[in-house]
Structure 1
Amino acid sequence: MLPHRLITALCLSLSPAAALAHPHVYIDAGLTLILDDSGALTGFEVEWSYDELYSLLIIEDMGLDQDGDGVLTEEENALIQGFDSDWEPGFDGRLYPRVDGRPVVLEDVRDFTAEYRDGRLISRHLHPLAEPLPMEAPLQVQVYDPEFYVDFSMPEVPVIEGREDCEVELIPGDPSAAPDAYREAIEAVLGAGTDPAEADVVTVDIGSAGADEADIRCDPGQGG
């Protein structure tokens, strides 16, 4: 099974018997903000580092690293390029930048690359903005899966390329928030008297609950 079939799931099927949500894939996300000569944000370079277990499952599913030394040959490395790039048009990429609470419009992703290092599959892609964003107001960025099938974390402070007058604060999320949101959604559905047999699918944006957040502030007088 290829990763994109998991990453691009559109809804979370909730069984009334399930106690709480739990992720099946863990990804460390890294971000680099790309700014143009005027100091406006034009896009994000995104890195996804998959957990070791999931990486191993993909490597074995693709029949790679037959000698088990953890190093891919040149031919094998070519085969993993774009392994998680088959996204539906308009897929959000699990990247959510906001200014004043409003989402920043993104274009479709491009320029996929990948490598296998230290037992982890690491993929990278470029996620451009629909139009340049002047960094005149604080920017908040989160990376999360709304359905919490994938547990994203942002272990490192995002990097900014193109300006030196910006400050970045990484605010760690609450690991218990998403499972709690799941439990509350289940209780709300059943508490409303919904027949459990009919409440077989509930769409809940629980991934944003407790997600790590990067807050970026640039000197509005320094752009350009």
Structure 2
Amino acid sequence: QLTPDERQRLIGFDTNWDEGFNGDLEIRAGGQLLDLSGPMQAGTDLIEGRIVSTHVRKIEPPVPMQDGPFSIKAFDPSYYTAYEIKLPVTLSDHLQGLCLLERIEPDIAGGLALMKAQLLRLNADADLEENDIPLMGGEFATEILVTCPAS
């Protein structure tokens, strides 16, 4: 268990991001990438032996829910860090029952086949950045699709 002092010292330990870092989160509406705030309302806890950190991000400027559907993906473009959405995803109380929430699992086999095809173009000593290999982390990301009716 964390003491209150330990918890306080840990809050925000992982939210001091480098300039330009998107937090490994993309939200799109109508195919357009939306701008997000930096992390706010950071919290930290110790749950079942794991440090769990949380924070909130806002879409800036705000976008009406009718401008969706909203595609939400958490991923590292380089796939150095792999994310998995395991917890149930829920909507806030004022949207619950009004909007449709859909979880779309990635096509792992298809993503791996695409990555393999890209890598087979290269010899073993090639530098990936110099050979225009695309960042493929998004191919392996679970997508949360939020659709709200027009009011």
Query: What RMSD in Å do the two structures reach over aligned CA positions?
Result: 2.1
User: Matches of 1:178 and 1:121 in 2, distance apart?
Assistant: 30
Letter in 2 for 1:141: I
- 1:183 paired with 2:125, answer no
User: Matches of 2:50 and 2:111 in 1, distance apart?
Assistant: 25
Match of 2:101 in 1: 168
Report percent identity of matched pairs.
24
- 1:117 paired with 2:41, answer no
For structure 2, the 5+ residue unaligned runs are none
Bigger radius of gyration, 1 or 2?
A: 1
Give the TM-score normalised by structure 1.
0.58
Q: Which digits, 9 at most, give the CA deviation of each residue in 1:145-190, with x for residues without a partner?
A: 1111111111234322232411101112234455444433322233
For structure 1, the 5+ residue unaligned runs are 1-70
Shift of 1:210: 2.7
User: Matches of 1:122 and 1:181 in 2, distance apart?
Assistant: 33
User: Matches of 2:35 and 2:118 in 1, distance apart?
Assistant: 28
Q: Residues 127 and 186 from structure 1, CA distance in 2 versus in 1: closer, same or farther, beyond 3 angstroms?
A: same
Residue 18 of structure 2, aligned match among 88, 93, 97 = 88
User: Matches of 1:106 and 1:210 in 2, distance apart?
Assistant: 22
Matches for 1:49-64 after TM superposition, within 5 Å = none
Give the TM-score normalised by structure 2.
0.82
Aligned residue pairs, count: 145
User: Matches of 2:111 and 2:8 in 1, distance apart?
Assistant: 36
- 1:148 paired with 2:79, answer yes
> Higher helix fraction: Structure 1 or Structure 2?
2
> Higher strand fraction: Structure 1 or Structure 2?
1
